[in-house]
A and B are shown apart, each in its own frame.
Chain A
Amino acid sequence: MTTGAAAVTAEPEVESLGARIRGNIRSGNLGSTPVIIALGFVVLAFALWAPNFFTPVNFSNLIGQLAGTCMLAYGVVFVLLIGEIDLSIAFVSGIAGVLVARLQLPTGAHLPGWLCILIALVATTLIGAFQGTIVARIGVPSFVVTLAGLLIWQGVILQSIPQGVIVIQDHLINDVYGYFFSDTAGWIMGVVISAIYLVVTLGSALSGRRHGIAIRDPLMLVFKCVAIPAIVLVTVWICNKDRGVPFALLLVVAMLLILTFLAKRTTFGRHVYAVGGNAEAARRAGINVARIRILVFMISGFMSGLGGIVLAARLNSVDLNAGGGTLLIDAISAAVIGGTSLFGGRGEVRNALIGSALIATIANGMNIKGYSTGTIYIVTGAILLLAVTFDTIARRVQLRAGR
């Protein structure tokens, strides 16, 4: 390069979309694109093929089915980003369910709903802090610590529901899953969320321009600014055809925005990626690696708690199966299928939503078609295997691209 300041600050040159995609494939940097395409195909297939799949009622159901798992998966993304694993999330979420159920019992503590929720979230966050501290300060592998957690918290759940099931009567708690906004409220939320997205996206592009940084991919920017609001508003429209926007959907979207902000726009998020990429480099750069690790396990605990409350509210009760079944596998699979690397340092919060949407859609559609649970497991497992294989190959390609 022989030109002066303008050329340097204006780089990178704006590439064509095709060149960018080719470059991304070469460097193994695909993110969630393949999953979004896969999700599109799955939805299309079921829409043509499964009766009553492509209806507003089923869309509402689908959101309910993915909301709880998605909360847990959001937390899993952070844990995977620092290259660790948290196997205790499902039963920690069960603990949150048991806590809210027991605390609201009219014959027991009978605390107000909001206080039950607060206590449950604080408790699960502290569980995360406890497990994270053992991992970060003492150096016990997270796999073992959280495997122990899996057993311990399952044991606690079994011990604390002697009657086998607790019914949740508190309305506020049940509304976490079962509340539907009015049509008008839904539209207002849709418009507000779209507006926030546009302001943030365009704002950062323009502030870059002020500092002499060219907009990297104008086509993509325009596409995003049209597509995301469109998706939001169409979602509201479909929900309004049924019972309205469910509170669970608001929770899914709100946490997506908050956690994405945390991961991509704050110092903390940057340090999470750094610890996952090269913990030693992060340490030498003056980052308190142990603190970051503990905070990430606290996020995992908090999101598990939130997910557990959604799941409990969905059933209006908790029983001995709280946190059991495929919840753990689904949450981790969702994050991984969405494109989060198991090797740490690569992934985004939205991967969790895309992954859990894919898993829930497959389960939902195959269920409608009358396939057995066994078949659904086999298909989901195959997709998980495919996603991890893909991640491993992508990583190898990326390493090679650097040499």
Chain B
Amino acid sequence: MSDAALLELRGIYKSFGSVQALTDVDFEVRAGEVMALVGDNGAGKSTLIKCVAGIHPMDEGEIVFDGRPVSIHGPKDAAKLGIEVVYQDLALCDNLDVVQNMYLGREERDWFQRLKEPPMEAKTAQTLKSLAVTTIKSIRQPVATLSGGQRQSVAVARAVMWNSRLVILDEPTAALGVSQTEQVLALVRRLAEQGLAVVLISHNLHDIFETATRITVLRLGRDVGVFDRDKTTQEEVVHAITAGIPTKVAGIPGTGQGAAS
């Protein structure tokens, strides 16, 4: 794991009408780590990742990716940087098979718009294998016939296949059973081991302590602390989620860091 952040957000502000969703939020994630993003409902987790994914434009703030300041105006900009989001509701087409879903919207084609099926199929098999997703019987079966865990694996594999450098997972285990959750969390850890930066949004502290390297806590649209998994406890994180104090207070210099270590 390198110490330099792959993605760094500085002073993000975002409001929807009169509702201030994000206030002066800082956030960072490094290559090779799983950064958990936690917070109560309405804390601003989803809004924050949607700003990164280019779905919502942010009002103010700076995004630094790989050491360079960048601007993200749409999902395509994010994809170009190598940022992929796996949404909570998966966004797979049930009627299409695994290969078709993996390549949806980015099909390989020749000059005549013809689909090049064999290379797509071979690459899909290879990607799934590299992620050790081996429970899927045939990559030519419709996604509708897969289990929840397998579907989640396909969604994650799709995000990884495109030379992505940062994968954001929004509640990937919310709808899964115990063993399938285990499967998906193992997959998440493998992504980080392969050198990707991973942002994991979850409500489940057990999952987070099992998977994450560091934990960022949001509360009421502000960041209230970054915790190292190895140096903190669930109680401390829960306290931050429910009663955390912003690490930065406007107008008081020197409160930018370390207030919650």
- Are A and B bound to each other? yes
- Shortest Cβ distance from residue A27 to the other chain B in the assembled complex, whole angstroms: 5
Partner of A273, one of B95, B125, B126, B145: B95
Most chain A CB inside 10 Å of its own CB: which residue of B79, B87, B129: B129
Given contacts A11-B137, A213-B121, contact A402 B113 (CB under 8 A): no
Whether the pair B122, A8 counts as a contact (CB closer than 8 A) is: no
Given contacts A284-B91, A403-B147, contact A267 B113 (CB under 8 A): yes
Whether the pair B94, A208 counts as a contact (CB closer than 8 A) is: no
Most chain B CB inside 10 Å of its own CB: which residue of A9, A278, A398: A278
Once bound together, how far apart are the Cα atoms of A11 and B109, in whole Å? 23
Chain B residues in 8 Å Cβ range of A5:
126, 129
Whether the pair A268, B118 counts as a contact (CB closer than 8 A) is: no
Whether the pair A345, B140 counts as a contact (CB closer than 8 A) is: no
Whether the pair B94, A277 counts as a contact (CB closer than 8 A) is: yes
Within 8 A of B (CB), among A326-352: 345-346
Once bound together, how far apart are the Cα atoms of A267 and B117, in whole Å? 11
Whether the pair B104, A8 counts as a contact (CB closer than 8 A) is: no
Whether the pair B76, A286 counts as a contact (CB closer than 8 A) is: yes
- Shortest Cβ distance from residue A315 to the other chain B in the assembled complex, whole angstroms: 38
Once bound together, how far apart are the Cα atoms of A15 and B149, in whole Å? 25
Chain B residues in 8 Å Cβ range of A287:
104-105
Categorize the interface residue count of chain B.
35 or more
Categorize the interface residue count of chain A.
35 or more
- Shortest Cβ distance from residue B221 to the other chain A in the assembled complex, whole angstroms: 25
Whether the pair A210, B118 counts as a contact (CB closer than 8 A) is: yes
Once bound together, how far apart are the Cα atoms of A274 and B148, in whole Å? 19
Indicate if A399 sits at the interface (CB-CB under 8 A): yes
Partner of B96, one of A9, A274, A286, A402: A274
- Shortest Cβ distance from residue B157 to the other chain A in the assembled complex, whole angstroms: 13
Chain A residues in 8 Å Cβ range of B76:
286
Chain A residues in 8 Å Cβ range of B119:
211
Whether the pair A286, B118 counts as a contact (CB closer than 8 A) is: no
Most chain A CB inside 10 Å of its own CB: which residue of B92, B104, B122: B104
Indicate if B249 sits at the interface (CB-CB under 8 A): no
Indicate if A155 sits at the interface (CB-CB under 8 A): no
Whether the pair A266, B91 counts as a contact (CB closer than 8 A) is: no
Once bound together, how far apart are the Cα atoms of A208 and B95, in whole Å? 22
Chain B residues in 8 Å Cβ range of A270:
96, 100, 104, 107, 115
Closest A residue to B75 by CB, please name it.
A286
Whether the pair A398, B144 counts as a contact (CB closer than 8 A) is: yes
Whether the pair A267, B115 counts as a contact (CB closer than 8 A) is: yes
Given contacts A8-B125, A282-B104, contact A208 B117 (CB under 8 A): yes
Whether the pair A274, B87 counts as a contact (CB closer than 8 A) is: no
- Shortest Cβ distance from residue B197 to the other chain A in the assembled complex, whole angstroms: 21
Apart from A8-B126, A278-B95, what 19 extra A-B contacts exist at CB < 8 Å? A8-B125, A208-B118, A211-B118, A211-B121, A270-B107, A274-B100, A274-B105, A277-B96, A278-B92, A281-B91, A281-B92, A281-B93, A284-B87, A284-B91, A286-B106, A345-B94, A345-B95, A398-B145, A402-B147
Q: Give 5 pairs: A residue, B residue, CB < 8 Å, sorted on A.
A: A204-B117, A274-B104, A274-B105, A286-B79, A402-B147
